Amino acid sequence: MGIQVQGRVHAGVGKRMMGKAVMNMGSVEYVNDLFSLKGHVGVVTGASRGIGLGIAKVLTDAGAKVYNLDVVSRSSEEEISGEMTDVQVNLMDREETKQVIETIAEKEGGLDFLVNNAGITYKCRAEEFPADRYQRIQNLNLETVFELCKMCYPYLKQSQHIGRIVSISSMGAHMGFSGVVPYCMTKSGVTGLTRGLAEEWKNDNILVNSVAPGWVLTRMNEEMFRENPDRKEAALRKMMLDRFAAPSDIGRMILFLLGKASSYCTGQDFAVDGGALAHGF
């Protein structure tokens, strides 16, 4: 089945996506093209393990060239079938991070996407929360995300594929969790940042979204659940799908948001939580 698409051209992202085109929507090639990242280059922070590594694997499998910016090294046991370059950097060191971004962009001739995944938390009641721990969480989870968006902006604006920013939010941006109040606060900030940048950069060839994962079965969470099986059962009871997410589940949502299939999506926070937020009482 072939269709002809015509539309209004304006100064923003639509300039790249609208206009006259003929597409065979029934073809395998068309569908593959919607989710292909061949020729796309970008940055994923915190991709040495956990959710970030799962994201990187999905993106490289789709053809993207990924630069992993992380303070820790990737384990030699963790193999990537596609093309990923590990860059060890302290993301909270603004000058060092800026130099890394500039070097990557110069080498690759630009950037097409930024995935803000790196984040930390600390469990402690609010009235006893140490100030230094709070500052680190605020710095990495929110301030660093904002700074990275600013650093990548001039390159994303020039992307031939439409620049994309996807930041990792959390169920904690939408629900209250005891013992991790600063974490919830910063993730709420990420969703606000996402909406604000989407509006401000709407005419700059950049789409901005965030993804709110539910419980993801990373090694860290697996260890926690082994020590506290009751918590595991309580978490599962909140999920309509009755299973935890794999890192690749989050990666596939990121893939959608970086490709052509999501060309009409911006300013949104997409929950990938097995139905937890919609579960109700």
Residues belonging to the active site: 183
Longest dimension (CA), the chain: 63
In order, the DSSP letters of 85-147 are EEEE--TT-HHHHHHHHHHHHHHHTS--EEEE---------GGG--HHHHHHHHIIIIIHHHH
Q: Decide if 149 contacts 164 (C-beta within 8 A).
A: no
Q: Decide if 55 contacts 48 (C-beta within 8 A).
A: no
**In whole angstroms, what is the distance from residue 58 CA to residue 80 CA?**
9
Amino acid at 258: L
CA-to-CA dists, residue 119 to 68, 71, 167, 216, angstroms: 14, 11, 10, 14
Q: Decide if 185 contacts 244 (C-beta within 8 A).
A: no
Q: What is the DSSP pairing of strand 2-5 with strand 21-24?
A: antiparallel
Amino acid at 230: D
**In whole angstroms, what is the distance from residue 82 CA to residue 59 CA?**
8
The token pair at 111 is 């950037």
Q: What is the DSSP pairing of strand 41-45 with strand 21-24?
A: unpaired
**In whole angstroms, what is the distance from residue 259 CA to residue 149 CA?**
19
The token pair at 13 is 């992202």
